[in-house]
Amino acid sequence: MKNIASDYLIYDETKGIYKEDPEQAVRDDVEKHQWAGVLHIILRDWRLYIMLVPMILVFLFWRYFPMYELLGCFKVSDEVKPVAQQFYKGFSEFKGLLFGSSAKSYDFWRAMRNTFLLSFYGLCFGFPMPIIIALFFNEIRSNVARSVYQVMTYLPKFMSTVVMTTLVTMLVKQGSLTSSMGVLSQLFVKLGLITSEVGNAGLLNAPGFFRAIYLVSGIWEGAGYDSIVFFAAIIAIAPTSYEAAQIDGAGKMAQMRYVVLPSILSTIVIMLISRIGSLLNVGYEKVLLLYNTNTYMTADVVSTFAQRYGIQGSLKGLASAAEMMNNVVGMLLVISANTIARKASDVSLY
C-alpha cells in the first residue's frame, strides 16, 4: 500500500507549508481513473470505511428497517406473514382515517388536534419562559448567588420522565375516604384556582386540566435548563453597549428593548425555528404516563393513539398509517423551517 500522506498533502506556496487538500485530491483521483479511481480511494482509506460500518448497520437495522415496515399501511394486514408477502390494498387505511365516519376516524382527528394544540401551547407559553429566566439571571450580579439559583432551577431537568410524572401524579392525586387529595391540589384549592370537588376527584382525571398540567410540568422541568443558551447570549453583550444606551438616557425597559433584545434575537430565532420544526413531536412518553381513560378527550396524541391501537391492540396498519401522516407533516415542517432559517440568517440547523 502507498504512503497515505503523499496523496493528499499538498504544498501551499503562499504559506510555505504542506497543507491538506483532500477534496481536490479526491476529485483528481476520480477524474483520472474514473471508477478505478473510486475503488482506489476506497482501498486507500479502507480503515475509514470500516469505521463507518457499525454506525451504518445500527441505523439501517433500527431506523430504516422500520420505515420498510411502513409498507404495512398499504397492505392487507396479516399477522403471520412478513410484510413483503402481504397483498397491496392501496390507501384504504388512510382514507378511512381521514374521511371515515367511524369511531377510529374520530379518535384520529381528536389525536391530531390534541397533538397540535399541546405543541402550540407549548410554543406560546413554554418558549418565552427560558428567555425571561435568562433575563432575570442577568440581573443577579453576584456569581455565587447566581450559581445557587442556576443549580436549583436546572435540577428538575435531571429527573427521568417516569420520576417526574410519578411526582406529578402523587402531588395532585385524588382524595378518598381514607386519605386527602395531593398537597398541590390542596394549595390550588386554597388559592381558589380549583374547587375542592375537582381536587378530590383528582386533577389528572379532569379533561380540562390536562393541558395545563402538561404545560406547567414541562416549564417546571425545562425552563431553567433551557435558559442556558439565552443566558450565554446575554452575557456576551459588551458592557459598553449598556453604557452607551445609558448616556442616551435609556431606562431599564429601553435598554431591554434596544440593547438586549437585538443582541439575542438571532439565538431566539434559531431556537424558535427548531421548535417549530418539532411542532408535531409531542413527547408521547410523558402523555402516556399522565393520561387515563377520563382524559382522552384532551390528552390523546397521535403516538399514544398508535400505541393503543397498534401495540396494545392489533390494528397495526391503521396505527402506523396514523403516525405516518403525523410524521410526514412533521418532516415537512422541519424542512421548511430549516429552509427559512437558511434564507433568513445564513444558519441552518442541520
Contact 230, 268 (CB under 8 A): yes
Instruction: Count helices and strands (H / E) in the chain.
Output: 20, 2
In the region spanning residues 296 to 325, those forming contacts with another protein, defined by CB under 8 A, are 303, 306-307, 310-311, 316, 319-320, 323-324
Q: Binding of another protein at residue 112 (CB under 8 A)?
A: no
DSSP element (H, E) containing 323:
helix 316-345
Nearer to another protein, 92 or 138 (CB): 138
Q: Which of 98, 117, 171, 212 binds another protein (CB under 8 A)?
A: 171
Q: CB 319 → another protein: shortest distance, Å?
A: 5
Instruction: Report the C-alpha gap between 48 and 86 in whole angstroms.
Output: 40
Contact 4, 44 (CB under 8 A): yes
Q: Which of 75, 104, 110, 173 binds another protein (CB under 8 A)?
A: 173
Q: Binding of another protein at residue 218 (CB under 8 A)?
A: no
Nearer to another protein, 36 or 328 (CB): 328
Residues 6+ apart with CB under 8 A from 53: none
Q: CB 120 → another protein: shortest distance, Å?
A: 20
Contact 104, 97 (CB under 8 A): yes
Residues 6+ apart with CB under 8 A from 195: 189
Provide the grid cell at 235. 452575557
Piece in contact with another protein (CB under 8 A), picked from 97-105, 107-115, 118-126, 282-290? 282-290
Other C-beta atoms lying within 10 Å of the C-beta of residue 278: 14
| Strands 17-20, 9-12: pairing kind | antiparallel
Q: Name residue 137's amino acid.
A: F
Q: CB 233 → another protein: shortest distance, Å?
A: 10
Q: CB 133 → another protein: shortest distance, Å?
A: 7
Piece in contact with another protein (CB under 8 A), picked from 22-30, 92-100, 109-117, 189-197? 22-30
**Which value, to the nearest 10 degrees, does the dihedral of the CA atoms of residues 327, 329, 334, 335 take?**
120
Piece in contact with another protein (CB under 8 A), picked from 85-93, 97-105, 110-118, 136-144? 136-144
In the region spanning residues 114 to 133, those forming contacts with another protein, defined by CB under 8 A, are 133
Nearer to another protein, 118 or 271 (CB): 271
Nearer to another protein, 20 or 113 (CB): 20
Q: Binding of another protein at residue 327 (CB under 8 A)?
A: yes
Q: Binding of another protein at residue 246 (CB under 8 A)?
A: yes
Q: Which of 102, 166, 195, 336 binds another protein (CB under 8 A)?
A: 166
Instruction: Report the C-alpha gap between 40 and 34 in whole angstroms.
Output: 10
Q: Binding of another protein at residue 179 (CB under 8 A)?
A: yes
Contact 207, 297 (CB under 8 A): yes
Count, residues near another protein per rule CB under 8 A? 108
Nearer to another protein, 121 or 284 (CB): 284
Q: CB 180 → another protein: shortest distance, Å?
A: 5
Other C-beta atoms lying within 10 Å of the C-beta of residue 98: 15
Which residue is it, cell 387505511? 93
Q: Binding of another protein at residue 55 (CB under 8 A)?
A: yes
Q: Which of 76, 235, 331, 344 binds another protein (CB under 8 A)?
A: 331
In the region spanning residues 259 to 278, those forming contacts with another protein, defined by CB under 8 A, are 267, 270
Nearer to another protein, 118 or 233 (CB): 233
Nearer to another protein, 101 or 178 (CB): 178
Q: Which of 22, 128, 207, 262 binds another protein (CB under 8 A)?
A: 22
* Short-list 189, 202, 195, 272, CA closest to 230: 272
DSSP element (H, E) containing 12:
strand 9-12
Contact 30, 40 (CB under 8 A): no
